[in-house]
């Protein structure tokens, strides 16, 4: 006989998203079982060190990091122009943290609220009954296990292990992530760095690279690039060698993938919710996803709690998660996905020009981007920016083509954002909304 377990919610994936959701449910007196395919001690080890914005801790009800979680605190960072002549100070504090310790904190939170986390429990198949997700089949330490729940959550990371196994009529897109929609993140940990190399948080937007603090006087030299690990490591090396040669000693290299695409148009089905990397909720400008996923998990938990308490976990009952997510953070992220490719195509001399003029890449622009996921510009700022760009074109430092492209994407992004802000409250209007969304994204609508 197959071993069976039951809870209010079954969560696939014990990363930060799944645990945050389970913790919130537990606080409301509901019980979640989290299934994690790895050993809990291994979760987060591959990334080792990560960054989290200070401002998000109180926002998500989390005490700030301390003890072995805390590696450093940096109130400001620097954004570098490609010619390295401009370093814009970004006043936006980040913690540098030990990721495995942060995960351990979440495992404790879940268990403290009566939740259960099963390690080495790999979900292999969804259980669907009468058109509802009813649970999952898993292998727990190699033995078959069936876990039933009134809501099933896919928080399994970029590959969406549950979502991609669902039938199309469940109401969410089930296609696996494509290589073209993936950022390959390569991290090189170095120490014994010579004098003159950067310290603190440093970001190189043209190269999509960063030089961030590690333990002691060490640094992490990183990059996030599309097209595969080979391409990303080549770009990493070219950037490092051009600016810093081969500084100090390499301690280790690690790599991982992060999604770089719009979220599925719907995040819910009957008894189903998607969140975190499994729902592509990473920040489009950096690939970071821990706190932007918390925004979604927080909404999802509030909606799930209400649905479970009412005893209705239908797609309609879970729909407010879609509405609240896509009208807020989702609309801003969608807008960024329209604008960023144009910024990424700018030539090096054009990015230098913008840095020197304080346009798009100013310290305040980066602060607002991190804080609000958009930059606010008054009509006067917009006119001043257009004038600077026009002057750049006239003086040959900015191409007319790029100027036109930036104007074009800015208007396209505004339309996409407005459309997401009109995400339908009534699921019956969803198909028409998707039809228009596909037109705006340039996707086939057949
Ligand atoms: C190298 C690198 C550095 C990064 N640095 C940062 C950073 O500094 N700050 C930041 O905010 N973001 C960073 N990110 C992004 C961030 O790591 C992710 O956005 C975040 O971890 C997403 O959390 P998640 O819980 O949704 O998914 P994950 O962390 O991927 O967790 C999913 C979990 O599900 C488990 N799982 C998968 N399939 C199954 C299955 N079938 N059955 C059971 N369990 C399963 C996995 O083992 C995993 O533990 C980085 C990403 C990479 C690759």
The full set of domains in the chain, from first to last, is 3-74+97-177+264-327 (3.50.50.60), 180-259 (3.30.9.10), 333-421 (no CATH)
> Per-residue pLDDT tens for 68-118?
999 999 999 999 999 999 999 999 999 999 999 999 999 999 999 999 999
Write the DSSP symbol of residue 175.
P
Closest C-alpha to ligand 1, atom 33: 13
Contact 275, 444 (CB under 8 A): no
Closest C-alpha to ligand 1, atom 3: 47
**Does the C-beta of 300 come closer than 6 Å to ligand 1?**
no
CA distance 333 to 329: 6
Contact 106, 43 (CB under 8 A): no
CA distance 12 to 35: 5
CA distance 115 to 43: 18
For residue 222, give both structure tokens: 């990183």
Q: Would strands 49-53 and 143-154 be described as parallel, antiparallel, or unpaired?
A: unpaired
Min mean pLDDT across 112-121, 181-190, 406-415 is at 406-415
CA of 397 to the centre of ligand 1 (A): 41
Q: Is residue 317 over pLDDT 80? A: yes
* Band (381; pLDDT cuts 50, 70, 90): confident
Pocket test for ligand 1, best of 290, 292, 293, 373 (most atoms within 8 A of CB): 290
pLDDT at residue 446 in the model: 62
Write the DSSP symbol of residue 183.
E
Burial environment of residue 256 by CB neighbours within 10 A (0 to 12, 13 to 18, 19 or more): middle
Q: Where are the alpha helices (DSSP H) in 146-283?
A: 229-244
Pocket test for ligand 1, best of 41, 253, 277, 291 (most atoms within 8 A of CB): 277
Closest C-alpha to ligand 1, atom 27: 157
CA of 39 to the centre of ligand 1 (A): 14
Q: Is residue 334 over pLDDT 80? A: yes
**Mean pLDDT, rounded, of the chain:** 96
Which residues, 6+ apart, have CB-to-CB distance to 183 below 8 Å? 224, 225, 226, 257, 258, 259, 260, 287
Percent of the chain with pLDDT over 70: 100
Of ligand 1's listed atoms, the one at least distance from the Cα of 49 is 8
**Does the C-beta of 160 come closer than 6 Å to ligand 1?**
no
> Per-residue pLDDT tens for 47-75?
999 999 999 999 999 999 999 999 999 99
pLDDT at residue 386 in the model: 85
Which residues, 6+ apart, have CB-to-CB distance to 178 below 8 Å? 261
**Does the C-beta of 295 come closer than 6 Å to ligand 1?**
no
Q: Which residues pair with residue 201 across a beta bridge?
A: 77
For residue 28, give both structure tokens: 């409301």
**Does the C-beta of 154 come closer than 6 Å to ligand 1?**
no
**Does the C-beta of 293 come closer than 6 Å to ligand 1?**
yes
> Can you tell me the mean pLDDT for 129-152?
97
Q: Is residue 276 over pLDDT 70? A: yes
Identify the H or E element spanning 104: helix 99-112
For residue 216, give both structure tokens: 């002691």
Of residues 344 and 97, which shows the higher confidence score? 97
Q: Which of these, 173, 373, 372, 180, lies nearest to 260 by C-alpha position?
A: 180
CA of 287 to the centre of ligand 1 (A): 11
**Does the C-beta of 50 come closer than 6 Å to ligand 1?**
yes
> Can you tell me the mean pLDDT for 278-294?
97
Q: Is residue 380 over pLDDT 90? A: no
* Band (444; pLDDT cuts 50, 70, 90): confident
Percent of the chain with pLDDT over 90: 93
> Can you tell me the mean pLDDT for 161-172?
96
- CB atoms closer than 10 angstroms to residue 115: 25
Contact 254, 307 (CB under 8 A): no
Of ligand 1's listed atoms, the one at least distance from the Cα of 292 is 11
């Amino acid at each position: 006989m197959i071993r069976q377990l039951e809870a209010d919610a079954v969560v696939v994936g014990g990363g930060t998203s799944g645990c945050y959701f389970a913790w919130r449910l537990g606080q409301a007196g509901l019980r979640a079982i989290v299934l994690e395919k790895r050993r809990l001690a291994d979760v987060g080890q591959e990334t080792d060190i990560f960054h989290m914005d200070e401002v998000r801790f109180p926002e998500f009800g989390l005490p700030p990091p301390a003890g072995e979680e805390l590696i450093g605190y940096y109130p400001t960072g620097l954004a570098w122009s490609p010619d390295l002549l401009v370093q814009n100070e970004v006043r936006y504090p980040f913690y540098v943290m030990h990721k495995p310790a942060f995960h351990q904190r979440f495992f404790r939170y879940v268990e403290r609220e009566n939740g259960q986390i099963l390690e080495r429990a790999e979900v292999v198949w969804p259980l669907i009954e009468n058109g509802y997700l009813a649970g999952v089949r898993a292998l727990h330490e190699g033995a078959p296990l069936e876990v039933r729940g009134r809501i099933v959550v896919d928080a399994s990371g970029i590959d969406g292990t549950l979502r991609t196994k669902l039938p199309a009529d469940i109401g969410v897109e089930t296609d696996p992530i494509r290589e073209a929609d993936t950022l390959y993140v390569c991290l090189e940990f170095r120490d014994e760095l010579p004098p003159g190399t950067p310290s603190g948080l440093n970001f190189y937007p043209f190269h999509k690279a960063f030089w961030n603090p590690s333990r002691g006087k060490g640094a992490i030299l990183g990059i996030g690039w599309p097209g595969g690990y080979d391409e990303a490591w080549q770009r990493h090396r070219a950037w490092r060698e051009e600016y810093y040669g081969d500084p100090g000693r390499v301690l280790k290299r690690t790599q991982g993938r992060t999604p770089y695409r719009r979220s599925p148009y719907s995040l819910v089905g009957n008894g189903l919710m998607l969140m975190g990397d499994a729902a592509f909720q990473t920040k489009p400008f950096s690939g970071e996803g821990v706190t932007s996923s918390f925004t979604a998990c927080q909404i999802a938990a509030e909606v799930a709690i209400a649905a479970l308490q009412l005893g209705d976990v239908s797609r309609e009952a879970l729909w407010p998660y879609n509405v609240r997510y896509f009208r807020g953070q989702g609309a801003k992220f969608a807008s960024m996905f329209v604008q960023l490719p144009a910024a990424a195509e700018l030539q090096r001399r054009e990015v230098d020009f913008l840095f020197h003029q304080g346009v798009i890449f100013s310290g305040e622009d980066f602060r607002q981007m991190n804080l609000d996921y958009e930059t606010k510009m008054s009509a006067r700022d917009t006119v001043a920016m257009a004038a600077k760009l026009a002057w750049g074109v006239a003086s040959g430092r900015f191409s007319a083509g790029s100027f036109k492209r930036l104007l074009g994407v800015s208007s396209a992004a505004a339309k996409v954002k407005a459309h997401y802000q009109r995400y339908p409250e009534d699921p019956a209007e969803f198909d028409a909304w998707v039809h228009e969304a596909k037109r705006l994204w340039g996707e086939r609508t057949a």
